[in-house]
Structure 1
Amino acid sequence: MQTSIFLAKLIGPVMLAAAIGLLVNREGYRAMSRDFLDSPPLIYVSGVLVMTAGIAIVLYHNVWALDWRVIVTLFGWMGAIGGAVRIISFSWVKRVGVAMLGKPWAMTIGGVVWLVIAAVLCFYGYFA
């Protein structure tokens, strides 16, 4: 449980700041996303970093309980898999990213989902 709380305290505030930033500055994040997708080396390097962080989380927190801790585990697995996809096929990542940017509400929906998950992690990390 201590590992779960530590990771919730670590991941929650970062996700919260990113979600709020996305919701408050949608056009800025859209422009930043376009720039990111135009840089295969940046996609690759982010894949290395995200995969490393995801594997670290999975190695120390592979908890499949029917409670809030599974969010941390899923976050780790998504990082490991998402990072690997960025490393292996950055051109596919660009195609999917550009398609998502073409949907006007995709970033808002993503921001709201991240905000809710971040709030849950912050709650259990800091207040529960």
Structure 2
Amino acid sequence: MDNMELSIFIARVLGVMYLSVGIGLFLFREAYMLAFRKLVDSPGSALLGGFMAVVGGMAMVTYHNLWVNDWRVIITIIGWIALIKGILLMLAPAYLELFRGILQVRKGRGLTLAIVIFGAIFCYLGFIQ
């Protein structure tokens, strides 16, 4: 698989994931916020999330470490962020506690809108372009 095929595959995965979460947040905001709050209260879940982030981030960093001047660099940056976040969660699951304020239910939907927009962009890049 060449670099562009891999970029398209990852864009498809990220697009579907971000769109699903973003639309879920719009439609079932309270349920998502409750799940996020329970995640913060569970060190075991934080460790599992950290493990998954390390696996996904390491895969992207290993196979898609492209520092190019186009949209594919966003995938590389997401991979590095996932890897670093995963390592931090595995080293110190209490680190997740820092995000408790962000996970509060708010009337503003800016972050949710950003997630949907990212999902739409990745779906466009992965499925249409």
SS of the residue aligned with 1:99?
A: coil
Query: Which protein has the bigger helix share?
Result: 1
Q: Please, what TM-score do these two structures have when normalized by structure 2?
A: 0.89
Aligned match of 2:118: 117
Quick check: 1:31 aligned with 2:34?
A: yes
How far, CA to CA, are the matches of 2:105 and 2:23 in structure 1?
20
SS of the residue aligned with 2:101?
A: helix
The code of the aligned residue for 2:20 comes to A
How far, CA to CA, are the matches of 1:53 and 1:105 in structure 2?
31
The code of the aligned residue for 2:72 comes to R
Runs of 4+ in structure 1 off by over 3 angstroms are none
How far, CA to CA, are the matches of 1:48 and 1:119 in structure 2?
27
How far, CA to CA, are the matches of 2:95 and 2:14 in structure 1?
27
| Percent of matched pairs sharing the same residue | 31
Aligned match of 1:126: 127
Aligned match of 1:9: 12
Alpha-carbon displacement from aligned partner over 1:89-127 (angstroms, at most 9, x marks no partner): 211212x22121347257x22221111111111101000
Offset of residue 23 of structure 1: 1.8
Quick check: 1:55 aligned with 2:58?
A: yes
Gap regions ≥5 residues in structure 1: none
Q: CA RMSD in A?
A: 1.5
Are the structure 2 counterparts of residues 105 and 71 from structure 1 closer, same or farther at C-alpha, using a change threshold of 3 Å?
farther
